[in-house]
Amino acid sequence: MYNITVGPLTLPTSYVLMLAALLLAIAVAHLSARPRKLPVGAVLTDAALAGLLVGRAAFVLLWWKQYSAAPWSMIDIRDGGIAPWPALAAGLALVAWRCRRQAPLRRPLALGVAAGLLMWQFAGGAALSSSTASARRPDLALTALSGESTTLAAAAHGKPAVVNLWASWCPPCRQEMPMLVDAQAGQADLAFIFVNQGESLAAALPFIAQQAAMSNVLLDPRAAVGRAVGSSAMPTTLFYDAGGKLVDMHIGVLSAATLASKLEKLRAAGH
């Protein structure tokens, strides 16, 4: 499962695992530092925030061309655009700096950081990697706008595919759709497939009509694709190689920069 839903809130599983790793790191460090009541929790929280800021800044610089066209999108972290290695380096650097200034913090912080990283690597990263590696493109009967029955494989025409799960009532879906439609027009080597979830043709058609260049739209009135891929959130965007293997996915709004980074990964998977 790629997302966890709590009431009206839907979170990507990767975010939940990162939070769990941070909480474990704080708990282990706190237990080690408890006899001396050292402020280890604050240090690890500051390190996590520093990592997020530096990782985001590095990602923005890497994809500056895309962000410069929409400057406000730089601060919208919902697109998940964070460079992992700069983020990790910044977090560890802050911890090291605090340890250098306060020697009693060294042991509890080292234990906490080790516990958090191990959890992310083995319980988090390994779980997400294995589920992605084994995931295949669902072979389900869908309906084209013409009324004909089809499948994702048929709609991909043998190309790597970007499969976007959306609904016309979903504000984030409506927000990202013009960008995806533009990308569809400019990426002839990829198949962009827009799979409407849970709506009839009559309900979806007014929004489709507003997207003049939108093509390769399929209807999935029972939202079977979302269930098959393990995501109940919308929008969800899946990236499949030409053989139908899942290379990457994204839950929530895509920015042009995040889409570009994932298309680069998708193309690299084909070589």
**Across the chain, how many H-helices and E-strands are there?**
11, 9
**pLDDT > 90: percent of the chain:** 58
Q: Considering Cα of 115, then 15, then 258, then 237, what sign does the dihedral take?
A: positive
pLDDT digits (tens, 9 = 90+) for 99-137: 888 888 999 999 999 999 888 777 655 555 545 545 889
Q: Identify the three-state secondary structure at position 65.
A: helix
Q: Within 10 Å of residue 143's Cβ, how many Cβ atoms?
A: 16
**pLDDT > 70: percent of the chain:** 90
Work out the angle between the directed axes of helices 40-62 and 106-118 (0-180°, nearest 10): 50
Q: Which residue has the tokens 């925030």?
A: 49
CATH numeric code, 142-269? 3.40.30.10
Gyration radius of the chain over CA positions:
21
Measured CA to CA, the distance from residue 129 to residue 127 in angstroms comes to 6
Q: Is the peptide bond before 235 cis (omega within 30 degrees of 0)?
A: yes
Q: Which of 142, 144, 143, 140 is nearest to 229 (CA)?
A: 140
Q: What is the pTM of this model?
A: 0.80
Q: pLDDT band for 171, please (50, 70, 90 cuts).
A: very high
Pair type for strands 236-240 and 161-166 = antiparallel
Given this model, what pLDDT does residue 212 score? 80
Domain locations in the chain as residue ranges: 3-134, 142-269
Measured CA to CA, the distance from residue 138 to residue 116 in angstroms comes to 34
pLDDT digits (tens, 9 = 90+) for 181-238: 999 998 889 999 999 999 999 999 999 999 888 999 999 999 999 999 888 889 999 9
Measured CA to CA, the distance from residue 123 to residue 129 in angstroms comes to 10
Mean per-residue pLDDT, 45-50: 93
Do residues 193 and 152 make contact, with C-beta atoms less than 8 angstroms apart?
yes
Given this model, what pLDDT does residue 46 score? 94
Is the confidence at residue 20, as pLDDT, over 90?
no
Measured CA to CA, the distance from residue 77 to residue 48 in angstroms comes to 15
Measured CA to CA, the distance from residue 177 to residue 166 in angstroms comes to 9
116 vs 18, more confident: 116
Do residues 189 and 268 make contact, with C-beta atoms less than 8 angstroms apart?
no
Type of residue numbered 149: S
**CA contacts within 13 A on the Cβ side of 268:** 8
